[in-house]
Amino acid sequence: MADRFQISKVNGTTNAAYDGEAGTGAAGADQPDAMHPPSSTENHLQPKAPTESGEKDRRSSRLSFRGFGHFLRKSDAERKFSLAQLTKETLPRLDNYRISMRNLKRPSIGELQGEAADQSITIPEPEPEPTGGHIKLGWIVGVLIPCLLNIWGVMLFLRLSWVVAESGILQTLIIITISAVVCVITTLSLSAISTNGEVKGGGVYFIISRSLGPEFGASVGVVFAFANAVSASMNTIGFCESLNVLLKNNGLKIVDNGINDIRIVGSVTVLVLILICCVGMEWETKAQNFLIVTIVLAIFNFIIGAAIGPNGNENHISKGFVGFSWNTFKENFGSDYRYAEGVNHDFFSVFAIFFPSVTGIQAGANICGDLKDAGAAIPKGTFWSLLISMTSYALFVLFAGGAAVRDASGIPGDLVNGTIIPSELPCMTTGNCTWGLFNSYEMMQEMSLWGPLIYAGCFAATLSTALTNLLSVPRLVQALGIDQIYPGLIFFSKPYGKHGEPYRGYVLTFFISTSFLLIGELNLIAPLISTFYLASYALINFCTFHAAFVKPLGWRPTFKYYNAWISLFGFAMCVAIMFLINYVAAIITFGIIFALYLVVMYRKPEANWGSTTQAQQYKAALMAVTRLQNVSDHVKNYHPQVLVLSGDPKTRPPLVDFGYLLTKNNSLMFVANIIPVRVGYKNRQHLMKDGQKYLDARKIKAFYNVIDGFSLEDGINALTKSTGFGKMSPNIVLVGYKPDWNRCRKEEVESYFSILYNAFSQRMGVALLRLPNGLDFSELSSEVTLPPNGMGHMHTANAQGFTNELMPAANAASELLHIDSNLNLAGMDSPNSSFTLPQPPPMPNMQRSSRSYKVNSTDEPAVTYHTKGGSDIPQNLLEAMTIFTRKQAKGTIDVFWLYDDGGLTILLPYIISMRSHWQNCKLRVFAMCHGKDEEQEEKSMASLLTKFRIKYSELIMLKGVSEQPRADTLLKHKRLIEPFRRGARNEFGITDDELHSMAEKTNRQLRIHELVVKHSSNASLVVMSLPMPRKEAISAPLYMSWLEMLTSDMKCPVALARGNQTPVLTLYS
């Protein structure tokens, strides 16, 4: 350890260790040993040199002490301390990085810094998963054999000879080569993804969902599960066909020795296989060794038998097995596509039937967590399985095409000189030949050295593949259900028993497989499976390309032999083959994937798996912001980016709603909360999550931030300078009006005035909002309600049903600076204790019946307000709280554009009038004139609005602004500022000189107030120019009296706005 050093002593002394974070030592640890007093000249931190006499019987112990100069009592007995006793630090270990319940918790920064323990939110820890011995598999048993068992399936013994008859030797080898290329590229991609972290249950679904996100992963997972279930049906049909042939050769049958027998035997077989899966597969590893040996023996049995030939056996020759000859090879070298089973076959239709025989390369990745070295085992085992299987397929093609003819009658009498002449066969003219590569799936048995062994190999290949598919489907469905992606699959994911067997998933798999098995036609099912598997392989390749292209820091696969562009080529190749096989099936497959994708997008599951889609979003956003930084600002691209100083957004919903009214679908919005005391990291994070959850539930797209440890003025000053980055920074500060300015302390008035002044100093626009009854709704309690499906949950302690004991009701909150009477959102009892949220007194007219009001009426996350004391929520409060979110009746938005500030005063109400809830309100524009030529000034103003393309209903030029205000207005203002007049008891107030110098401007503000009340008493919203706060010219109380007079006596919301004198509107296109 870097933070420890040894203190070695000999002759019975101790070997001590120092650690700055060690625990408290034993009693008396700081007392010197009486037998060995330390020398005054000796450096007690340096080790003594060992003596010869004490070298042999040296005894040492490792002790810890706390701080410099604290030592434990020396002891002759050797004492050893673990790292946990020496320090709180943990070493890098695998269990620290797990995301399962077995993970170990490393200490937090707060614990290492010694923060108070009561600042954490206690969440009960789940029971640890039972750990026991688990056998890790090598690349042969864990990858090679499972892949071979999946690849060697029904096609090997039942359909490969028919494929050779249709496509000929050359094109069949091309089909195998194309399939091999697809599988090799997909294996490269699969190896890269599966070695970039541990792959758990779910296989391909887990890989794609954790790489591209739950939308793609879940969509392909459902399709892949469906493909596996249908593949089980296909292999079961293959087993039943070979069993039918065996029964027919022995004169036995169940019903008709045809499709009905396949349906009966197949249904029973699937049921038995499902029951085997349910009982348990502990013997699977041993069983797969027996199955693979059986298949290999059957392969060699065919190759040896074909090489030896019929040996003059006319019975074999009449059935088409003529032995190796150059003529037979030439005859079968080219293609001869025919009509079969209702299909006019061509290259791609035959390819579609063959391709399922090469699927199964994902078998190793499915059990990645059970491999000793996944990075080496998956590529090695998968590539060897592909090499072995493709070689075996190629040998089968050469031996079948070189030693058997396409058509034969099976009648020895049709032979000419002991051989088959196709033109002389009677069945060729009638078209009823029953033997040969074209007509019989039993040619493998006829050509083998010992026919029964081919049956055994066919049974082993088909049943092993079907069993593997039936095992994987319920597990995949269970993985989808556990992740709660699709509601319908949650029911089938319930685990049973100590091993968590998905019995309901087995039942679902049985019905899906049986329904397709009842079709009974293998050649009809195979193309559908091909499109599903190709879609899965296409997305696996795309996952690797996307991850390698985006290159997130988490992309560190141990398998290095991959290439992003080769993976992209594999993706394009899979998609192209899908459409060439059957474009209708391809469109349906992608349509299903897209529909499943939309379902996940609509449900928006809270699944955060660190997908490359997230990394791409971050990278794209970063590149866009970087490019935007180099783009010069232009007035045509101006966007109001608003910093809303709302405090806790739950207590001031109208202020937040007004800000969102300006930025919705157009620009950025930041919501800020300043807490003048330090609340600690965890409490601050909890407040931020709680506030962001509220905004998300209200569907308000904004960024919420909490600043603690600053005064209100300093905090807002810091926010205006540091919020955002580059061009994505706020350019408007939105604050609530302070109605208690004439009753609060003078420092608060000065601070509020400084906030407005500093915002303009930062060249920002300012908007100020006042409601008739105020903006503060802290007397109501808000609660974020979640949808019943549980998919909108947030991963917080409160959302999981745990209460935060750090936030009891406060008995007395600190008196802080207020905006709208209550900006103090937090108080602190002590610097090291948790903070408390103030609880305002209940509303008057208390009643026992609790009343609540739900803001959102949909099933999505909503916010419910209710009274803390159980009283009725007054209707006027409800209307005021939802003033900017409800549909407005026909009315007007009156704009008093008094001063040219660059156009912000007229732009903001224009934006509001374009919103759907305010589209019934028409703009009325009021402007002042110099009084010389009022008609000409009105025309000039109308022309300006027209060129700005501002649609308005009426333009009114204010007259008499320079006239003397009425006496009652002057009296009202005089009484308003009287407490702030400078006198003997008030050294800091409004002086007579200031009143005299500002008399003309004050009278203008009072006169504007009279005109606003006169013209806009019935308006739905009033927006007017904000007077400029000049510290050197006007005092804070006098300025606040202006704002009070301008916004008082109004029944509707009043917004004061002023730009930074930079144009936000332009005349030009």
What is the separation of C-alpha 193 from the centre of its chain, rounded to a whole number of angstroms? 18
Dist. CA 474–CA 817, nearest whole Å: 61
The residue length of the chain stands at 1069
Nearest residue to 462 (alpha-carbon basis) of 232, 148, 154, 242: 154
What is the arrangement of strands in the sheet containing 852-854, beginning at the earlier edge strand? 780-785, 862-867, 852-854
Backbone angles phi, psi at 79, to 5 degrees: -120, 135
Check residue 206 and give its pLDDT. 80
The mean pLDDT of 12-30, rounded to a whole number, is 39
Q: 928, 906, 925, 915: which is closest to 1019 by C-alpha? A: 925
Greatest Cα pair distance in the chain: 139
Q: Report the share of the chain in percent with pLDDT over 70.
A: 76
Give the pLDDT of residue 1061: 86
User: Is the model's pLDDT at 705 over the cut of 90?
Assistant: yes
Helix (H) / strand (E) containing 62: strand 62-65
Residues 618-629, buried b or exposed e (16+ Cβ, 10 A)? Answer: eeeeeeeeeeee
The answer, yes or no, to whether residue 668 has pLDDT greater than 60, is: yes
**Helix 522-550 and helix 160-194, axial crossing angle in degrees, nearest 10:** 20
Which stretches within 763-899 are classed as H helix? Answer: 875-881
| Residues with Cβ within 8 Å of residue 925, at least 6 apart in sequence | 895, 897, 906, 941, 945, 950, 952, 954, 955, 956
Backbone angles phi, psi at 64, to 5 degrees: -120, 155
402: tokens are 């070189």
Residue among 430, 439, 448 nearest 407 (CA): 439
User: What is the rounded CA–CA span in Å between residue 438 and residue 444?
Assistant: 12
Fill in the amino acid letter for 305: G
pLDDT confidence of residue 32: 40
**Dihedral angle over CA of 1011, 1017, 1019, 1024, nearest 10:** 30
Question: Using CA atoms, how far apart are residues 601 and 607, in angstroms rounded to an integer?
Answer: 12
Determine the Cα–Cα distance for residues 449 and 676; give it in Å rounded to an integer. Answer: 91
- Cβ atoms of 440 and 406 closer than 8 Å: no
Three-state SS at 817: coil
Contact 532, 352 (CB under 8 A): no
Q: What is the mean pLDDT of the chain?
A: 78
Phi, psi values for residue 232, rounded to 5°: -60, -40
Question: Which residues touch 347 (CB under 8 Å, ≥6 apart)?
Answer: 167, 171, 175, 335, 337
d(CA 301, CA 449): 5
pLDDT tens digits along 51-98: 444 444 444 433 343 444 444 444 444 555 444 554 556 555 545 545
pLDDT in tens, 205-235: 887 788 778 888 888 888 888 888 888 898 8
CA distance linking residue 650 with residue 125, whole number of Å? 31
CA–CA separation, 1023 vs 1061, rounded Å? 17
Per-residue pLDDT tens digits for 422-460: 878 888 877 788 888 988 888 888 899 888 898 899 898
Q: Write the DSSP symbol of residue 119.
A: G
H/E segment holding residue 546: helix 522-550
Residue 729's Cβ-count burial label (10 Å; 0-12, 13-18, 19+) is middle
pLDDT at 1039: 92
The predicted model gives 1-20 an average pLDDT of 39
Contact, 502 vs 626, CB < 8 A?
no
Alpha-carbon distance of 165 to 907, in angstroms, equals 77
Whole-number Å distance between alpha carbons of 530 and 357: 9
Cα–Cα distance between 705 and 444 in angstroms, integer? Answer: 73
In tens, the pLDDT along 995-1044 reads 899 999 999 999 999 999 999 989 999 999 999 988 888 899 999 999 99
What pLDDT, on the 0 to 100 scale, is given for residue 486? 85
pLDDT of 84 reads 52
pLDDT for residue 169 is more than 90: yes
Burial of 194 (0-12, 13-18, 19+ CB in 10 A): buried
pLDDT at position 95: 52
Count the Cβ atoms, other than its own, within 10 Å of residue 726.
10
Radius of gyration of the CA atoms of the chain, in A: 41
| Residue 19 DSSP SS3 | strand
pLDDT by residue (tens digit) across 361-397? 877 776 665 677 777 888 889 999 999 999 999 999 9
50-70 burial, b at 16+ Cβ within 10 Å, e below that, comes to eeeeeeeeeebbbbbbbeeee
pLDDT at 220: 80
pLDDT value of position 271: 92
For residue 325, pLDDT over 60 is answered with: yes
Q: Which single residue is written with the structure tokens 């009905």?
A: 260
Q: Which of 45-49, 97-101, 832-836 has the lowest mean pLDDT?
A: 832-836
Q: What is the pLDDT of residue 285?
A: 60
| CA distances for 313 relative to 223, 322, 336, 374, angstroms | 49, 9, 27, 51
Looking up tokens 């374009």 gives: 914
CA distances from 111 to 23, 682, 882, 975, 1020 (A): 14, 12, 44, 57, 54
d(CA 785, CA 20): 47
**Pairing between strand 343-344 and 339-340?**
antiparallel
Q: Examine the pLDDT at 692 and tell me if it is beyond 80.
A: yes
Q: What is the pLDDT of residue 781?
A: 65
Q: What is the pTM of this model?
A: 0.68
CA distance linking residue 45 with residue 22, whole number of Å: 17
Q: What percent of the chain has pLDDT over 90?
A: 28
Residue 39 in tokens: 């020398």
Q: What is the pLDDT of residue 168?
A: 94
| Burial (CB count <10 Å: 0-12, 13-18, 19+), residue 749 | buried
Structure tokens at 555: 């992309």
Residue 144: DSSP 8-state: I
Is the pLDDT at 560 greater than 80? The verdict is: yes
Which distant-in-sequence residues (6+ apart) come within 8 Å of 82 by Cβ?
none
